[in-house]
A and B are shown apart, each in its own frame.
Chain A
């Protein structure tokens, strides 16, 4: 299956600082999905990007899909303590079956 690499593995920020996690694939992705997993919880779907160069925003979160559809990023502006958790990107493992290959995730901690 496709391999999706995610960096960094961990990020510690002061509340109010910005945060970015990056996702890279060696092959072109038909789409990319982002999920958030709170400590002790399960992954929750945030958004799906499909188009080359697409940018979507959800309040303080900005998601980008690269022009070549091989990379993506999630940027959080002015982090809050509620942003803590692990953020995963996921590429399609097999589009027809809806299988996804998940990155290893970036764990964000926010110091108040």
Chain B
């Protein structure tokens, strides 16, 4: 069974902080994705990666960056957190996609 592990289930940070969300998969998948999910807005793709050190912007990349130094790990970075980045963040891998449990991030 595919296992996608996100480092935190809940996270509270302050405006202006640099925030790291980590995602690790155990299936040697090349593709990894970061989404945010907000009520009424569905799943929106932030960034994805199809190989180590490769990344492409999704639909809403502004205010975010990513890092993929190793195949199994894909990190989402909020460079300077803002309150409008309060959301549920979901990491996924593969295609069809397997999701982690999500990180509910609150920016105060």
Cβ contact within 8 Å between B90 and A99: no
- B64 interface residue (CB < 8 Å to A): no
**Whole-angstrom CA separation of A35 from B56 in the bound complex:** 24
Q: Contact residue range for chain A?
A: 20 to 34
Contact of A98 among B35, B94, B101, B102 (CB under 8 A): B94
Tell which of A14-22, A52-60, A67-75, A101-109 binds the partner. Answer: A101-109
Cβ contact within 8 Å between A104 and B41: yes
Cβ contact within 8 Å between A98 and B50: yes
Cβ contact within 8 Å between B96 and A45: yes
Cβ contact within 8 Å between A43 and B90: yes
Contacts of B45 in A (CB 8 A): 93, 99, 101
Chain A positions within 8 Å of B, measured between CB atoms, are 1, 33, 35, 41-45, 48, 88, 90, 93, 97-105
